[in-house]
Amino acid sequence: MQKLIAAPLNPTWNVIPKTADEWKAQVNASAAATFETLPALRQELHVKVEPLTIDGVKAYMVTPENIPAENHNRLLVHVHGGCYVFSPGEAGTREAIFMAGFGRFKIISVDYRMPPDHPYPAALDDAMTVWKAAVKMASPKNMAIFGSSAGGALTLSMVLRAKKDNLPLPAAIAPGTPMSDLTDAGDSFHTNAMLDNVLVAPNALCDAGAGIYANGHDLKDPMLSPIYGDMSGFPPTILTTGTRDLLLSSTVRVHRKLRQAGVEALLQVYEAQSHAQFMRDTSAPETKEAFEEIARFFDKHLGR
């Protein structure tokens, strides 16, 4: 993990596309690079990934080679990160492969539509379409939703939306370093600026991606910035971040808000890690630790 922490700043942190075509070029270049890493990752973690379509929404079924007995009737739903604009297609499955490998759960990873072609609420709509179908494949008591960064915010927004629409809630959720406040109100947007070597600073590439996703909607809408939502009745929640994470505040503020609402909520903060570095390198002991904490939390709260 020290290698990732000591790495130079992400070279594209402030390379902001100006047009829809420029966005697509940058997103596709990034996705192509990720795509190349997937066969080795799946092989190493003994995980199979198969495309499927669920009520018109693209997704992937991510399955570990050996599913332990206690997880046979359990099903997770994954919403990937990438500032609401990166990681289309299979590139979005990386985190789900980590979770399937370290936690040995079956997972549906949602390949939600993204801007520039499909801004808000397309991503959330797609995720909810999958959720509505998924709760017929398994008991919601045996299910969890997880994802990091934009996927962490989508995880929280999905629960807000499920509450609003009187849909079944999952038994647990694991938002990793959620983009919970698109207004960048948290203190760590300032204190960790230029220290976080992944997101680096506010008002840069990732915020630009969130901007084309929001597409003019009020950034304080809880479906875009779930920190402003009513978190009463949320399922048990495990949150993950690092001390250098630009979204450290966006994570701890969600933790406090959940606790204030009486929700069982666990906070995991990893020493010196920047944004979402816990899901980068399978060989780092901290990666295994982070995913095993989440898996243990799910095992505690999910029915069988």
CB of 182 to a second copy, least distance (A): 17
User: Please, are residues 245 and 192 in contact by the beta-carbon 8 Å criterion?
Assistant: yes
CB of 31 to a second copy, least distance (A): 32
User: How far is the C-alpha of 124 from the C-alpha of 140, rounded, in Å?
Assistant: 19
Q: What angle do CA 17, 95, 19 make, to 5 degrees?
A: 10
Judged by beta carbon, residue 37 or residue 191, the one nearer a second copy is 191
Residue 116: cis peptide before it, omega within 30 degrees of 0: yes
Judged by beta carbon, residue 72 or residue 220, the one nearer a second copy is 220
Judged by beta carbon, residue 48 or residue 190, the one nearer a second copy is 190
**Listed residue (115, 114, 113, 110) closest to 133, CA to CA:** 110
User: How far is the C-alpha of 254 from the C-alpha of 247, rounded, in Å?
Assistant: 11
Cα–Cα distances (Å) from 108 to 105, 134, 137, 207, in that order, read 10, 8, 11, 27
Judged by beta carbon, residue 125 or residue 289, the one nearer a second copy is 289
Q: Report CA dihedral (133, 139, 140, 144) to the nearest 10 degrees.
A: -90
CB of 282 to a second copy, least distance (A): 18
CB of 59 to a second copy, least distance (A): 32
CB of 64 to a second copy, least distance (A): 23
CB of 195 to a second copy, least distance (A): 6
- Contacting residues toward a second copy, per CB under 8 A: 186-188, 191-192, 195, 243-244, 248-249, 252-253, 255-256, 259-260, 266-272, 289, 293
241: phi then psi, degrees, rounded to nearest 5:
-155, -175
236: phi then psi, degrees, rounded to nearest 5:
-50, 140
* CA 286 to chain CA centroid, nearest Å: 18
CB of 256 to a second copy, least distance (A): 7
Judged by beta carbon, residue 8 or residue 216, the one nearer a second copy is 8
Inter-axis angle of helices 150-164 and 122-137, nearest 10: 70
Query: What does the DSSP assignment read for 176-231?
Result: ES----TT--STHHHHTTTT-SSS-SSSSHHHHHHHHHHTTS-TTSTTTSGGGS--
Judged by beta carbon, residue 10 or residue 251, the one nearer a second copy is 251
Judged by beta carbon, residue 47 or residue 153, the one nearer a second copy is 153
